[in-house]
Amino acid sequence: MRIFVTGASGWIGSAVVPELISAGHQVLGLARSDVSAKAVAGMGAEVLRGDLNDTGVLRAGTLDSDGVIHLAFVVPSVSEAATRTDARAIETLVTGLAGSGKPLVISGATLVTPGRPATERDELIAAGPIAARITNMQAALAAADRGVRSCLVMLPRSVHGQGERHGFIPQLIAAARAKGVCGYIGDGASRWPAVHVKDAASLYRLAIEQAPAGAVLNAVGDEGVPVREIAEAIGRHLNLPARSLPAEEFGGMLVPLLSRDMPASSTITQELLGWQPTHPGLIEDIEQGHYFT
């Protein structure tokens, strides 16, 4: 297949593109800068210059491909401007694929279901701070009614691996270094789902190859890692204590991430596509030490 990938040079895209190429696919990667274009070409993909606001470029890339994996987003991804841009981009991709039966893979985030791990069958409800993003996910799934084999890959809070520089684990490490303590909120029992970036990449490949229209897939390797264990693993490498801190000691998105219990299951995804996470889990990945160099 010839696959158009937006966000091809990003953290996840830089794992997805080699995964696709190693499986025999051709990749057309969207690149908005010279640096991104060089990275995409360096992975062995063809470069298409443009960004998510270039609907003509998006349409051309879609029409020139056998399927699309949409990974790009505008930072911050939950802002009104970012979600509007994403909505336009998804509509452009859907229009280009309509009636073809070709696949469209859109990224989302694993849901939070109080009292139990979230599953692929939980309802997508457009509410709260990410309501607009969920509306965009719903629009992507609805493309199945327009002759598009669309599906969602739901990513957990931590997509980890060697080379990660901007995710939540690097943020926790930076905060620990600044404070001299590896902090968590409350008793630290709240859990994060996680997946190694290479395992996530293999799921994107399986999704573009065989996922049925309307499928929701959870890219989850670790169902739920207690944040206290994450803090303790970081502390072992920094030689710092791990202890509970008041919520006001943390800023931005870290407070809800550290305080909410949000485990998620990928059992249905594994049974549907035969996907098996094989790379290190989150704690093992932290223990390898690459985050601290």
Residues 2-46: tens digit of each pLDDT: 999 999 999 999 999 999 999 999 999 999 999 999 999 999 999
Alpha-carbon torsion 227, 131, 6, 96, what sign? positive
d(CA 179, CA 156): 26
φ/ψ of 182, rounded to 5, equals -95, 105
78 or 147, which is more confident? 147
pLDDT at 248: 85
Q: What is the pLDDT of residues 191-242, one digit of tens each?
A: 999 999 999 999 999 999 999 999 999 999 999 999 999 999 999 999 999 9
| CATH 3.30.980 matches 165-193+224-263+280-292 | no
| Phi/psi-derived region of residue 176, left when phi > 0, alpha when psi is between -120 and 50, beta in every other case | alpha
pLDDT at 173: 95
Task: Find out whether 208 and 103 touch, Cβ atoms under 8 Å.
Answer: yes
Strands (E), the chain: 2-6, 26-31, 46-49, 67-70, 103-109, 149-155, 158-160, 182-184, 191-196, 215-218, 222-226, 242-244
pLDDT at 75: 63
Task: Find out whether 235 and 182 touch, Cβ atoms under 8 Å.
Answer: yes
pLDDT exceeds 90 at position 82: no
Angle, helices 13-22 vs 197-210, to 10°: value is: 60
d(CA 29, CA 40): 6
Residue 177 to residues 53, 165, 174, 292, Cα–Cα distance (Å): 38, 15, 5, 11
Domain boundaries, the chain: 2-157+195-218, 165-193+224-263+280-292
Q: Which CATH superfamily is domain 2-157+195-218 in?
A: NAD(P)-binding Rossmann-like Domain (3.40.50.720)
Percentage of the chain exceeding pLDDT 70 = 98
- Whole-number average pLDDT of the chain: 94
pLDDT at 216: 97
pLDDT at 154: 97
pLDDT at 86: 93
**What is the bridge-based pairing of β-strands 222-226 and 191-196?**
antiparallel
What is the DSSP-derived secondary structure letter of residue 200?
H
pLDDT exceeds 80 at position 292: yes
pLDDT at 237: 95
Q: What is the pLDDT of residues 59-77, one digit of tens each?
A: 999 999 999 999 998 765 5
Taking residues 67-88, what's their average pLDDT? 84
Q: What is the pLDDT of residues 140-196, one digit of tens each?
A: 999 999 999 999 999 998 999 999 988 899 999 999 999 999 999 999 999 999 999
